[in-house]
Amino acid sequence: MGRRRAPELYRAPFPLYALQVDPSTGLLIAAGGGGAAKTGIKNGVHFLQLEQINGRLGASLLHSHDTETRATMNLALAGNILAAGQDAHCQLLRFQTHQQKGKTKAEKAGSKEQGPRQRKGAAPVEKKSGAETHQEGIELTVENLQAVQTDFSPDPLQKVVCFNHDNTLLATGGTDGYVRIWKVPSLEKVLEFRAHEGEIEDLALGPDGKLVTVGWDLKASVWQKDQLVTQLHWQENGPTFSNTPYRYQACRFGQVPDQPTRLRLFTVQIPHKRLRQPPPCYLTAWDGSTFLPLRTKPCGHEVISCLSVSESGTFLGLGTVTGSVAIYIAFSLQGVFLCGCCSCCVSGLLL
C-alpha cells in the first residue's frame, strides 16, 4: 500500500499533541504547546473552521485559547465541553459559538482588502503558519471551568481522559497507574483504584459501565467499577513471539454496523522494546460482551501511537510515531488508506 501525502490544512504555531472534531459544528480543535519551558513556544487550544480558500480546502483559525504555561497533551469532547490533560491536571473548558451582529460601514470596507484577514476576536496568526483567518458571521468564546489534579506519581502526567456514554462521568489515567472517575462538570471524585503497575497508556468506557485499561505492565484489563472482570489475552489466539514481549498501546470501543446494541473492542499491540529490526505491530478486534478475540492482523512495522474508531464503527484509524496515518475496515481489519500526515489527526480523518 503506497504512501500518499495529504494536503496541508493548517500549521499550528506549537507542537500538536491532540485533535478533536466537534460533530455538531464541524470545528477542528487542535491543542498542544511547548510546556513550561521558556522556549518562546506558546501553549494553546485552537478552534478551526474548514472552508474553501482560493479554491482549496483549508482550515482557518476561529479562536485561540491561551493555556498559559500548560501544554495540552490529551483531549476528550462531550458536547461543548472539553476535558484537557495538562501536566498532572485535567482542565474542563466550555466553548460556545455565536452569530456576529451586522458589520459597520468601516468593517465592510475593511473586508474588501486583499491578503490574509483575521476573524473577529481571534488571536493573531503568524504568516508562516500558512493559515488564513476570515471575518465571517461566527465568533467563539471559551470559558475555563473546573480543574483537578488527576495524577500523583513523582513525575505526574495525565496520559488519557475519556467521557462515559452520557457525558456525566469522566475517567482519567496517568503515570501513577490509577484510574480516577469524576463527575461532570463538578469534577467531584467518585471512584479511585490501582489498575496497573506502572503507567496507564489508554482507557475506554463502554455504555454498560465497563472500563478497559491498558498499561506498561503488558496487561489489558476489563473492569466493572473497581472490580476486575477479566484480562485480555491476544497472543493465545494469535501470533506468538517468545523473545519479543508485546504491550497494549491503545483500546477503543466501536459500534457494530447495523447492530446498534452490539459493540466491538479494538486494541493495538506493539513491541515493548524497540529493536533494530522491529517486528510488526498488531491490531485485534474483540467481542464487546465476552471479550474474546475475533481476529488479529499485522498493521506494519512502524510503532503505533494512537487508535480511533469512526462513529458508525465502520473504520479504524491508526497513527504512528513517525507521523503516518492508516485507515482500516473495522470488520475485516483490512487496510484501505495510508498517508504521511500528522498522526494526531486520526480522529479528524475518520470524521
Residue 85, pLDDT > 60, answer yes
Reported confidence tier of residue 11, pLDDT bands at 50, 70, 90: confident
The pLDDT of 172-180, averaged and rounded, is 98
Choose the most confident range, by mean pLDDT, from 42-56, 105-119, 196-210: 196-210
By the 8 A CB rule, do 172 and 211 touch? no
SS (HEC) of 3-70: CECCCCCCCCCCCEEEEEECCCCCCEEEEEECCCCCCCCCEEEEEEEEEEECCEEEEEEEEEEECCCC
Sign of CA dihedral 33, 34, 40, 43: positive
From 151, 180, 174, 183, select the one nearest 78 (Cα to Cα). 183
Q: Which residue has the higher pLDDT, 171 or 60?
A: 171
The pLDDT of 222-231, averaged and rounded, is 97
List, in order, residues 6 or more apart from 285 with CB less than 8 Å away. 264, 265, 266, 293, 294, 295, 296, 330, 333
Question: What is the three-class DSSP state of 200?
Answer: strand
Helix, strand, coil shares of the chain, percent, nearest 5, are 5, 50, 45
- In total, the chain counts a number of residues equal to 351
List, in order, residues 6 or more apart from 102 with CB less than 8 Å away. none
**Where do the structural domains in the chain lie, given as residue ranges?**
7-100+138-146
| Segment 131-152, tens digit of pLDDT | 334 445 788 999 999 999 999 9
Residue 96, pLDDT > 70, answer yes
Q: What is the pLDDT of residue 277?
A: 81
Its pTM stands at 0.83
Helical residues (DSSP H) of the chain, grouped into ranges: 105-110, 346-350
| Segment 292-308, tens digit of pLDDT | 999 999 999 999 999 99
Determine the Cα–Cα distance for residues 283 and 270; give it in Å rounded to an integer. Answer: 9
Determine the Cα–Cα distance for residues 337 and 335; give it in Å rounded to an integer. Answer: 6
| For the chain, percent of residues with pLDDT exceeding 90 | 65
Reported confidence tier of residue 274, pLDDT bands at 50, 70, 90: confident
Q: What is the pLDDT of residue 258?
A: 86
Q: What is the pLDDT of residue 199?
A: 97
From 58, 202, 189, 77, select the one nearest 130 (Cα to Cα). 58
Reported confidence tier of residue 37, pLDDT bands at 50, 70, 90: confident
Q: What is the pLDDT of residue 238?
A: 61
Determine the Cα–Cα distance for residues 203 and 172; give it in Å rounded to an integer. Answer: 8
Q: What is the DSSP letter of 105?
A: H
185: preceding bond cis by omega (within 30 degrees)? yes
Would you tell me how many other CB atoms lie within 10 Å of the CB of residue 61? 24
Residue 310, pLDDT > 90, answer yes
The pLDDT of 81-107, averaged and rounded, is 83
Reported confidence tier of residue 59, pLDDT bands at 50, 70, 90: confident
197-206, 249-258, 270-279, 290-299, range with the lowest pLDDT: 270-279
